[in-house]
Amino acid sequence: MPRRPLPRILSSGTARIARGREIARTAADGATDVLHPLIVVSRGLRKLAGLAGQRWAATPKEKRGPTLLLAACGVMAVALIPYGPVTALISVMGAAAWQGRARDPARTGPDEAETARLQALYEALVPYFSVAEDPAPLYAHGGAWADAFSDYAFDGNGRLTGLRISYPAYFTDGEDESRARVEQVLHAKSGRGREYRFVWDEEGNRLVMNVLPALSTAIAAQRFITAPGETVLGFTDSEAVQRTVPVTDGEETWDAPPVIWRTGPRSTEAHLLAVGEPGSGTTTLLRSIALQALPHGDVLIVDGSATGEYSCLTGRSGVLAIECGLTGALSALERAAQETERRLVAANRARQAGEPPPDDIRRPLWILVDRPSILGHLAAADGQPDPQQLLEIPLRHGRAAQVTVVVAEQFDSLGSLTETVLTHTRARVALGPAGFHEIAAVLGTVPHTTPTPDVPPGRGYARLSAGPVVRLQVPATPDPFDDATSEAHRQAVLALLPERRATTPAQVPAPVPAEG
């Protein structure tokens, strides 16, 4: 009788032992479920609780109150019936045992459809991650996707929601064009209509792709808890910032991650530029900033579009003027420039005398200019100076004088902004549907996510100075006099408006000359 080699005997014995252990473990698990019905019942209770949570989340908010009342009436009725609680307990335990009779299936890998999707994505990346000189290419037509992809995740519809990709070291991941081509392929093959974030690890030759959830549009204008000199531009992803503020939608309160813009003498981005398409939410952003600034400062508004979007602020305390015409805008901006100079002189004299600055120059002054390009065209046709020239002094010296300038413009008129405006507005916001080139022209760099063609109003990106680009959703701050505004949003804006003044100034008060 021939003798079997020792290694083969050992490997055969090891396989039998492993197979026996697996059979014993399966039998033990089955016996545990049989011998311990509490495990089956607890598993079923967990499933029932999950189903109840899903039903509750799918219930509209206006129907949750009646649903709770109906459930409470049912519980009271069961409690009053003889043997009702015992019968209800037995019924719940029976339903839990029925739901927990089968174990949750454990996924050990992608199914057939998911495998086909991963293979197709792998084949699409072959032209970008391979060269003919590579003796052992990681990416090759007909190759195995499992060698390049890891940590994948799919949603209920079978579309990718997360993926970690390995790529060869010779790929030019330091070039923006090379990255953009790969990101475009991943975006197209993984499903359009969603926003993806790409994180490149040049040191480890890894690329992580994740699908980002949509930012909440339920946050309306309200009093945000901020420090002096802080303004909430909107809200972003929780991992993008290290701070949260409490917000409410009228019924529920939760903590949301804000995009905080800091102004004042210590700010590195004292002025802001917001760019977008018509209806993208730039005017909404300016209204939100004005409502946050009024409790602590004065606001001057220049509306170049003259559409009456700021009429709700007319005659309110703290609103110095709302100018829509060319003549009024030039006069108001000239007085604002003179006020900036006066504040600088007063602050300098106070420092020389070793005294604190006077109270009248410590109150912030906000200059909000919406669509200055329209006024510039009117001024050129009338032979008058461009109103943007009058913004030079507030932009250059406003930080030391507690003067903040906010300019809103459209993408197609971005070239009409003066060099002074573009240089000193270091806080940038780009709203609405836009491509990478348009966003980069405003923010100075492209975002790490893929812009989507359909976005709600107030949705875009923000960048403060040389910081990272973050997603942004501006709080809903519509014109309360607009018929299309919902009642909840109208009341939210009206609640923030200051009281009306007895007399409404027609223009910015003339600066008081300093003595001496």
Q: What angle do CA 343, 349, 354 make, to 5 degrees?
A: 125
The confidence score (pLDDT) of residue 29 equals 47
243 pLDDT tier (thresholds 50, 70, 90)? very high
Q: What angle do CA 164, 166, 168 make, to 5 degrees?
A: 160
Output the six-digit token pair for 454.
């359909």
Three-state SS string over 102-147 comes to CCCCCCCCCCHHHHHHHHHHHHHHCCCCCCCCCCCCCCCCCCCHHH
281 Rama sector, left if φ>0, alpha if ψ -120 to 50, beta otherwise: left
Residue 403 has pLDDT above 70, yes or no: yes
The confidence score (pLDDT) of residue 389 equals 95
Give CA–CA dist 447/461, Å, rounded: 8
Which one is predicted more confidently, 503 or 82? 82
Output the six-digit token pair for 349.
């004299």
Instruction: Please report, as a single letter, which amino acid is at residue 106.
Output: A
Choose from 44-48, 99-103, 484-488 the range with maximum mean pLDDT: 484-488
Cα(first)–Cα(last) distance of the chain, in Å? Answer: 121
By CB atoms closer than 10 A (0-12, 13-18, 19+), residue 6 is exposed
Per-residue pLDDT tens over the stretch 293-308 = 999 999 999 999 888 8
DSSP code for 198:
E
Q: Where are the domains of the chain?
A: 112-212, 230-496
Q: Which helix (H) or strand (E) holds 30?
A: helix 6-35
Question: Considering the chain, what percentage of its residues have pLDDT values greater than 90?
Answer: 59
163 pLDDT tier (thresholds 50, 70, 90)? very high
pLDDT mean over 220-234: 94
pLDDT mean over 8-13: 40
Q: Which CB contacts under 8 angstroms, 24+ apart, belong to 113-117?
A: 113/158, 114/152, 114/154, 114/158, 117/158, 117/159, 117/160
Give CA–CA dist 248/36, Å, rounded: 46
Output the six-digit token pair for 359.
């109270």
The confidence score (pLDDT) of residue 107 equals 56
pLDDT mean over 205-231: 93
Give CA–CA dist 512/343, Å, rounded: 10
Output the six-digit token pair for 395.
């932009």
Give CA–CA dist 167/156, Å, rounded: 28
CB 367 within 8 A of CB 394: yes
Question: Considering the chain, what percentage of its residues have pLDDT values greater than 70?
Answer: 88
42 Rama sector, left if φ>0, alpha if ψ -120 to 50, beta otherwise: alpha
Give CA–CA dist 157/114, Å, rounded: 10
34 pLDDT tier (thresholds 50, 70, 90)? very low
The confidence score (pLDDT) of residue 307 equals 87
pTM (2 d.p.): 0.76
* Buried b / exposed e along 227-239 (16+ C-beta atoms within 10 A): eebbbbbbbbeee
- Look-up: residue for tokens 């459930």? 71
By CB atoms closer than 10 A (0-12, 13-18, 19+), residue 16 is exposed
Q: Which helix (H) or strand (E) holds 320?
A: strand 319-323
By CB atoms closer than 10 A (0-12, 13-18, 19+), residue 361 is buried
Give CA–CA dist 396/375, Å, rounded: 21
Q: Classify 416 as helix, strand or coil.
A: helix
Phi/psi at 200 (nearest 5 deg)?
-95, 130
Q: Which helix (H) or strand (E) holds 247?
A: strand 245-248
213 Rama sector, left if φ>0, alpha if ψ -120 to 50, beta otherwise: beta
Residue among 438, 426, 288 at smallest CA distance from 368: 288
Classify domain 230-496 at the CATH class level. Answer: alpha beta
Per-residue pLDDT tens over the stretch 443-484 = 999 888 888 888 899 999 999 999 999 999 999 999 999 998
Would you tell me how many other CB atoms lie within 10 Å of the CB of residue 165? 24
Give CA–CA dist 149/158, Å, rounded: 17
The confidence score (pLDDT) of residue 298 equals 96
Residue among 235, 234, 221 at smallest CA distance from 312: 221
Residue 1 has pLDDT above 50, yes or no: no
pLDDT mean over 143-150: 91
Beta bridge partners of 242: none
User: How are the residues of the chain apportioned to helix, strand and coil, as percentages rounded to the nearest 5?
Assistant: 40, 20, 40
Beta bridge partners of 321: 300
Give CA–CA dist 433/69, Å, rounded: 44
Residue among 263, 232, 227 at smallest CA distance from 400: 263
DSSP code for 296:
T
36 pLDDT tier (thresholds 50, 70, 90)? low
Output the six-digit token pair for 439.
């966003």
